[in-house]
A and B are shown apart, each in its own frame.
Chain A
């Protein structure tokens, strides 16, 4: 029975059927385009590989469109063009990222070892090899931790106020200033803390001064992301809790925040990642240090981005190696934080089906 139907439809094209290209067509066209692009590049003596790529890309889009339009029709052709454009954009976006990670790893692993991670620059001549990143790692961890300790509670509470309580003028004003703060450049935050904390109040350079500026940069990011996450919590859950006779503050703590904790964690971690790479406030407020200083509240410290800057500025092969290795440590640090955040988010996220 089913066979007769199949043979029938094969004999007579169905109302909805149409001619289709084989599934491997785009791959073949892409291959041909790359080959032709390379051929043209070599033939015409174009030195830039980017030009080869662009020729191949253009060729791919045009040929793909023409072939599909001829065989499948104009609508399918447009679909193919847009699909290939999206892929092209994705590749263009990924190439620099890949290249960045690749060259950082390639140049960073040269001096990255246990010794590098556990030693400071104490007594190391900048032009010579040796030395390490330990003091900068300590500084980064302490400054970021202090900044997070200040910014996360303030940001969380602000977001809770805006979503759960904020009505009228005050809420609008807070939203406006949070938006403004999002746009504050890090050097401006650094200058503000410099003039207020160090010049007016007279405290010296310290990791804590740096974390003050970092907290200023972090708060708006935390507020914004937390706000969005809290808005996603369905109102029905709040009402369900209130209808049980649960006070509003308990509803927020026990129902609203746990429901959105996954997203909030991700947002906080993105904010942490953002401030971890800040150099300007550290330059102005933490001053930089060759030695290990565990106390963030007094005396100059270093930090990873500052260390990269400092080693690069020293301008000799040994310090370049150290700069790359420190950059790799910085990337790994942020990446590990992100992975941890993802893990927490997945672990804490509400499960819709738990059968």
Chain B
């Protein structure tokens, strides 16, 4: 049951918080079955842009989006599109690990299906939980205590639990908003290895502040920047990761990567 990874085409996308324009006129293509990394200084709108890709942006009061996001030719912002269905197709992992505190490890992984009211047989659910936890490289660590609370795991394990929870609903795209920023180097390595495996099945977009991480895990890298504080963030360029880090076509990218600003 390999998920069908999808291509994302964004054109002319702007996002607002109330009257404030957060990101302006972004167009890019995210290739299927690859890892695309977003880098850029704080406040440049990387996370906001990421959240527009599964319609989580509008969850924030006053959040609103203009432009088009095509997921294999279907506009996520088209009339009659249900954001709930979009979010089932485009999963998300957050910066801070956020397992549901009232639920066991097992229930956390099964949450996506249970909360959606999808009725499954116990055996089917067991298999799915095992598959998702294996997919998140967590199975061996937790298989003997699936009934224990998810909040009792270490930070790195919690984050992998959240990844398992996200892939359990079989999304086609997985968005990751700085998934390693709250983790120690060893857990980070575990999550990065996992990303390398997951890209066989999913289209992955990852926001990161860690340039080395972008260089290590991603196939393509997009650099975002903003003219000044309070100005909207913009996409500066997107290219093969290797090119961005060796020979970017825009001077600002080179300055940022080499640490001359930001």
Cα–Cα, bound, A250→B162 (Å)? 19
Cα–Cα, bound, A251→B117 (Å)? 11
Interchain CB contact under 8 A, A237 and B87: no
The answer to whether residues A237 and B59 also contact, given A250-B115, A353-B152 and a CB cut-off of 8 A, is no
- Contact of B21 with A by CB under 8 A: no
> CB-CB contacts of A226-242 with B at 8 A, as 1s and 0s?
00000000101111111
Closest residue of B by beta carbon distance from A261? B102
Number of interface residues of A (CB under 8 A): 26
Q: From residue 232 to 279 of chain A, which have CB atoms closer than 8 A to chain B?
A: 234, 236-247, 250-251, 254-255, 258-259
Q: Collect the chain B residues with CB atoms within 8 Å of residue A237's CB.
A: 98, 100-101
Please pick, from A255, A353, A355, the residue contacting B100 in the complex, using a CB distance under 8 A. A255
Q: Count the A-B residue pairs with Cβ separation under 8 angstroms: how many? A: 91
> CB-CB contacts of A314-355 with B at 8 A, as 1s and 0s?
000000000000000000000000000000000000111111
- Contact of A12 with B by CB under 8 A: no
Most buried by B among A239, A241, A245, A251: A245
Interchain CB contact under 8 A, A351 and B54: no
Interchain CB contact under 8 A, A354 and B151: yes
Q: Collect the chain A residues with CB atoms within 8 Å of residue B86's CB.
A: 245
Q: Collect the chain B residues with CB atoms within 8 Å of residue A245's CB.
A: 84-89, 112, 116, 169
- Contact of A167 with B by CB under 8 A: yes
The distance from the CB of A167 to the nearest CB of chain B, in whole angstroms, is 6
Q: Collect the chain B residues with CB atoms within 8 Å of residue A247's CB.
A: 84
Interchain CB contact under 8 A, B87 and A352: no
Most buried by A among B61, B92, B98: B98
Please pick, from B54, B84, B102, B111, the residue contacting A259 in the complex, using a CB distance under 8 A. B102
Interchain CB contact under 8 A, A246 and B152: no
Interchain CB contact under 8 A, B111 and A244: yes
Interchain CB contact under 8 A, B162 and A240: yes
The answer to whether residues A351 and B112 also contact, given A237-B101, A259-B101, A259-B102 and a CB cut-off of 8 A, is no
The distance from the CB of A152 to the nearest CB of chain B, in whole angstroms, is 20
The answer to whether residues A255 and B115 also contact, given A239-B56, A247-B84, A350-B151 and a CB cut-off of 8 A, is yes
Most buried by B among A167, A238, A354: A354
Interchain CB contact under 8 A, A241 and B102: no
Q: From residue 108 to 150 of chain B, which have CB atoms closer than 8 A to chain A?
A: 111-112, 114-117, 148-149
Cα–Cα, bound, A351→B162 (Å)? 17
Interchain CB contact under 8 A, A259 and B61: no
Interchain CB contact under 8 A, B115 and A243: no
Q: Collect the chain A residues with CB atoms within 8 Å of residue B84's CB.
A: 245-247
Cα–Cα, bound, A239→B88 (Å)? 13
Please pick, from B148, B149, B169, the residue contacting A244 in the complex, using a CB distance under 8 A. B169
> CB-CB contacts of B52-95 with A at 8 A, as 1s and 0s?
00101001010000000000000000000000111111011010
Interchain CB contact under 8 A, B101 and A350: yes
Interchain CB contact under 8 A, A243 and B152: no
Most buried by B among A236, A239, A243, A255: A243
Cα–Cα, bound, A242→B86 (Å)? 11
- Contact of B220 with A by CB under 8 A: no
Shortest beta-carbon contacts, A-B, top 9:
A245-B88, A350-B101, A354-B149, A243-B92, A354-B152, A236-B98, A244-B112, A245-B87, A246-B115
B residues apposed to A, CB below 8 Å: 54, 56, 59, 61, 84-89, 91-92, 94, 96, 98-102, 111-112, 114-117, 148-149, 151-152, 162, 165-166, 169
A-B contact pairs, 21 of them (CB 8 A): A236-B94, A236-B96, A237-B101, A239-B98, A241-B111, A243-B166, A244-B87, A244-B88, A244-B112, A247-B84, A250-B115, A254-B114, A255-B102, A350-B101, A350-B102, A350-B151, A351-B101, A351-B151, A353-B152, A354-B149, A355-B152
